[in-house]
Chain A
C-alpha cells in the first residue's frame, strides 16, 4: 500500500514539475480527479509534455491507441496503474 501511494505522489510531483504548474501543489492534486478539462485543467500541450516526462522517468512508452491513451491520461490513478502495469510487464509492450 505504501508503495502504491508513493507512485501516485511521485506522479503528482512529476506533473507539477514537468508542466511548471505555478499555483498547484502536488498534494492538492486529487488522485482520481480528471487531469484534463474540468479537473486540473490540463490541455493538449500538457498531454504531450506529460507523456514525455513519463517515458523519461519510468522508461515506459504510451500506446498507439488514441482511446487507450485517453484512458491512461484520465487521472493520476490511471497513470499510476498504467506505469505499474508496464513495469510489472502485465501489459505486454507491442
Chain B
C-alpha cells in the first residue's frame, strides 16, 4: 500500500500493471511518465481550475494526478451536459478530456488529452504530493446551478483509502483486478475504482462496462473484484454473467443506492460473494458498510467515522476524517448533516429510513427535484410544475412531471396534444440534466394537486401516474347546480384514453365519449343512473380536441321525465360541440 500523496515519489513498483482494457495496459512506470509529461504541459495553469472529464479511468487518473502535480485544481463535472459545462467554463483555465468529440461549451478554452502529445521523460523526477493540497472539486445533484460543490484535499482520500485497505485488503488479495461498471467521475468511482486500486497496486479497468457482458473478457486473467451499483448488479445477476467464473471473484462492492436483502442474496448466489454495500455521499465520503447474507441488516460505521442523529430532522450527522464540508471538528474531522433519515441501533449500528428532502436517486445519481422544477418553471409554457419519483420499468426510479401549462401552452396542447409539449419541455431540460433524469411521464393539469396547506404531497402527485390507463373522465373545474339543472366546467384531459382507437393520429373526443360526459352529469343530477328511453336531436357540431375547457349544461323538466344537454366551449359559448334532448323511463 502506497499512500496517495506518495504515489508519484517512486515508491510504487514501476513494473506493476496499473490499468487494463482495450485501450492498452499501462504499468505504474507508464503512469509516472504520463503524469510528468502532462504536468509539464499544465504548468501555465498553476493555481487555476481545470475541468476533467474522461471515460477512460487511466486517462482520468493521469489528468487528476498531473493537475495536482502542476498545482492546478481539477473540477470533476458530474456529466458532459452542455449546460453544465457552459456554467463551469468561465471558471476554468482549460479542460482535460479524453473523447474526440468536440465540446462546444469549451471551444474557446485550451484543452488537452491526458495521454496525447506529451513528451515523456524516461525517468521523471519523483515528487510527493502535499497531503493538504486540493485534490479535486466534485459536484452533487444533477445540476451545477444550485448543486453543491464539494472540494476534497489529498488527505481526505488518502485516509479513506487506508481505511478501505485495512477493512477489505485481505479479502481482496494483492493482485486482484478491479472490474467495474462505474465511471471515474463521481466520488465512489474515484475512490473505489481509480485511486484505491492505484495505491494498492491492483490493476483497474480503464473504461467502465455498460453491459455486464463487457466485463467477461477481463475475468480470464485471474482474481477479480467488482465495483458496481445496485442497477448494474441486478443486470449482472439476471444475465448470469460472471457466474461461471465466480470462483475467481474475491469481492463485490456496491454503492449508489439501496440494495435489497433479496438482491444481495441473489448476487451472492451468482457471484459467490455477498456484496459489500457502501453507504456514503460526496460530502462525507464513505460512512458505513454492511453485508446482507440473509435478511435486512443494519449499517456499521467505517473506522474513524461516527454517526449521530440530528434531533430536529432525524437525519444522520456524520463526523469523519473523510468529510470535507460542514463544521470543522477535532483531529482534521468535519461534521456534516446529511439529508438521510436514520434510526440508531445498539453498538453504533443504524438503519437508513430514506431522504428527508426532495433529493432522489436516478440511475444511482442524485437529482434535486426542486432544482429541476425551478428550471422547468422558467419555460414560457409552464405556469407551475411539480416532479415526483416514479417506479419505472423493472422498478428503477424515474421522474414524472406534472405541469400546469400557461394560457398559450393550452392552445399548443389543443393543437398538438400532450406528447408534443412533453417533448418540447424535455428538450428544454436536456442541456442541463443528464438523460436519465429527464421526466419519463408527463401530466398536464389545470391545477396541481395541492392539499389544504398548499403543499404537494408526493402520494397525490404519484396518484396522477398510478393507473396504467390514462384517465377516462374529464377534469372537473367547477360545478353549479340547482334543483333541476347542472352546469359543469370540464377540461378534456390530454391523456389519450378517450382518443385512442377512434381516429388514429387525430386526438379528438368521439361523439360517444361526449355523450358519456353528458350521461354522467345527468346521473349526478338525478342521483341515480339515468334510464334513458329515447334520445332525439342528438347532434355533434364542432370537433372537440384535447385540453379544451368545456361547459356542460344538463337540465330536467319539472316532472323529471325529459332532459336536455348542451356541450359548448367554456370560453366561447357560441362554439357548440354536442347537444340532444331525451326522455327518461318512468319510475319502475
Query: Which chain A positions have C-beta within 8 A of B239?
Result: 51-52, 55, 61
For the complex, give the distance between the alpha carbons of A45 and B232 in Å: 9
B442 touches A44 (CB 8 A): no
Query: Which chain B positions have C-beta within 8 A of A45?
Result: 231, 363, 392, 396, 436
- A67 closest partner in B (C-beta): B22
For the complex, give the distance between the alpha carbons of A20 and B235 in Å: 18
For the complex, give the distance between the alpha carbons of A66 and B209 in Å: 7
From 19 to 55 in chain A, residues with beta carbon under 8 angstroms from any chain B beta carbon are 19-23, 37, 41-45, 47-49, 51-52, 55
A43-77 near B? 1/0 per residue, CB < 8 Å: 11101110110010000011111100100000000
Query: Which chain A positions have C-beta within 8 A of B422?
Result: 23
A47 touches B213 (CB 8 A): no
Query: Which chain B positions have C-beta within 8 A of A20?
Result: 392-393, 440
A69 touches B393 (CB 8 A): no
From 430 to 456 in chain B, residues with beta carbon under 8 angstroms from any chain A beta carbon are 434-436, 438, 440-442
For the complex, give the distance between the alpha carbons of A90 and B326 in Å: 59
A48 touches B214 (CB 8 A): no
From 409 to 430 in chain B, residues with beta carbon under 8 angstroms from any chain A beta carbon are 418-419, 422-423, 426
From 216 to 244 in chain B, residues with beta carbon under 8 angstroms from any chain A beta carbon are 216-217, 231-232, 235, 238-239
Tell whether A7 is near chain B: CB-to-CB under 8 Å: no
User: Which of B213, B434, B442 has the most C-beta atoms of chain A within 10 angstroms of its own C-beta?
Assistant: B213
B235 touches A48 (CB 8 A): yes
Partner of B436, one of A44, A62, A63: A44
CB distance from B398 to the nearest CB of A (A): 8
| 23 A–B pairs (Cβ distance < 8 Å), ordered by A | A20-B392, A20-B393, A22-B440, A22-B441, A23-B418, A43-B438, A44-B210, A45-B231, A45-B363, A45-B392, A47-B210, A48-B211, A48-B231, A49-B396, A52-B235, A52-B239, A55-B239, A62-B211, A63-B213, A64-B214, A66-B207, A66-B209, A69-B214
Give 9 nearest A-B pairs by CB, closest first: A43-B435, A23-B419, A43-B436, A20-B393, A64-B216, A64-B213, A48-B235, A22-B441, A66-B214
Given contacts A43-B438, A51-B211, A66-B22, 19 further A-B contacts (CB under 8 A): A20-B392, A20-B440, A21-B440, A22-B440, A23-B418, A23-B419, A41-B426, A42-B435, A44-B436, A45-B436, A48-B235, A49-B393, A52-B239, A64-B213, A64-B215, A66-B211, A66-B214, A69-B210, A69-B213
Interface of A with B (CB < 8 Å)?
A: 18-23, 37, 41-45, 47-49, 51-52, 55, 61-66, 69
